[in-house]
Amino acid sequence: MVLTSSPAALPVDARQQVSRLMQRLQDDICARLEALDGKAKFREDRWERPGGGGGRSRVIQQGDVFEQGGVNFSEVFGSHLPPSILKQRPEAAGHPFYATGTSMVLHPRNPYVPTVHLNYRYFEAGPVWWFGGGMDLTPYYLFEEDAAHFHRTAKAACDRLDPVYYPVFKIWCDRYFFLPHRGEARGVGGIFFDYQDERPGLLYRPEGQAEGDPEQLASEPPSLQVRVGSRSWEHLFQLVQTCGDAFLPAYVPIVERRQGMEWGERERQFQLYRRGRYVEFNLVYDRGTIFGLQTQGRTESILMSLPPLVRWEYGYEPQPDTWEAKLHQVLRQPQDWA
């Protein structure tokens, strides 16, 4: 396949730098999670994509801490981006693309330990490139101090680059990980961003909306009307690296605090039920999942995010004034955690 030359303002080794970062992130995360679990080890599958590229998928199963978890690295070349992305980046039409990223979902066994997701990614296509990603927490039993710790750690990482980032990325995360058919957030959120590139304008660039669309801008709350000047590739690379490295300090202390808590059938059943929402989000709305399936990605790696065991129950409502009911309330109204 003939790839176009790199756009100006990119380091000559841009792809290699990002690819190395994404692999290092995968390595660091897997090593720490194995130590945390103490029993299970990650199993690695290396794979190649017929269209170009490949990856290394790592799965941990039946651990003491992790009932199942997947940490994927992938690097793919393709002849054209799917329509959903071209709508947002029309300049990429007719060009081949390069995409690399690391994504992770962990499904702990103990219902007091939250599920967590991380994904960072980088695209190049003809004249355009961008970074995206984030991390978010999905508790079954909500400890406010855990949500606060996760958000504060994410905020501190963002703030090291620029204090404008966290407030926007936090709302972006709440909006992205939202299930309209349930009227619920997937969890307590974290940070999320996409289409971050060198072009000045509105920092918030949600899919399906033209950048800096004046009507869109006017209808958003002031907290989302943040504008940024031109930012270098190196600055955005640093943002992703800093946020990526914030994952372990954001999540590991939560696991350490909750892993020893005793739980029973009630907690297990609620966890399995809530995992259904995770499946609904990932299969109906998640951009990464849809991108993977649309680009004939490796199905087992894409769907590694799905929980090992899930249940659905028609018409379930938690009993009023229970811990379970509190979660359902909180998910209907985003909170300021940091």
Q: Which of 53, 293, 326, 334 binds a second copy (CB under 8 A)?
A: 293
Q: Rounded to an integer, what is the distance from CA 34 to the centroid of its chain?
A: 21
Smallest separation, CB 214 to a second copy (Å)? 25
End-to-end Cα spacing for the chain: 47
CA distance 32 to 44: 16
CA distance 143 to 196: 32
Q: Which of 3, 279, 326, 335 binds a second copy (CB under 8 A)?
A: 279
CA distance 22 to 122: 9
Residues 68-107 that bind a second copy (CB under 8 A): 68, 70
Q: Does 181 participate in catalysis according to the annotation?
A: no
Q: Which of 3, 10, 148, 303 binds a second copy (CB under 8 A)?
A: 303
Take residue 236 and report the two structure tokens written for it.
């955005």
Q: Rounded to an integer, what is the distance from CA 309 to the centroid of its chain?
A: 21
Piece in contact with a second copy (CB under 8 A), picked from 111-119, 200-208, 296-304, 325-333: 296-304
Residues 10-69 that bind a second copy (CB under 8 A): 45, 57, 59, 61, 68
Taking the alpha carbons of 30, 31, 32, 35 in that order, is the dihedral positive or negative? Answer: positive
What are the φ/ψ torsions at residue 113 (nearest 5 degrees)?
Answer: -95, 125
Residues 215-274 that bind a second copy (CB under 8 A): 272
Other CB atoms within 10 Å distance of the CB of residue 38: 10
Say which of 117, 149, 151, 328 is annotated catalytic: 117
Could you tell me if 211 and 202 are in contact, meaning their C-beta atoms sit under 8 angstroms apart? yes
| 313 part of the interface to a second copy, by CB under 8 A | yes
Smallest separation, CB 22 to a second copy (Å)? 20
Q: Which of 49, 160, 182, 287 binds a second copy (CB under 8 A)?
A: 182
Binding site for a second copy (CB under 8 A): 45, 57, 59, 61, 68, 70, 180-182, 272, 276, 279-280, 283-284, 293, 299-300, 302-304, 306-315
Catalytic residue set: 117
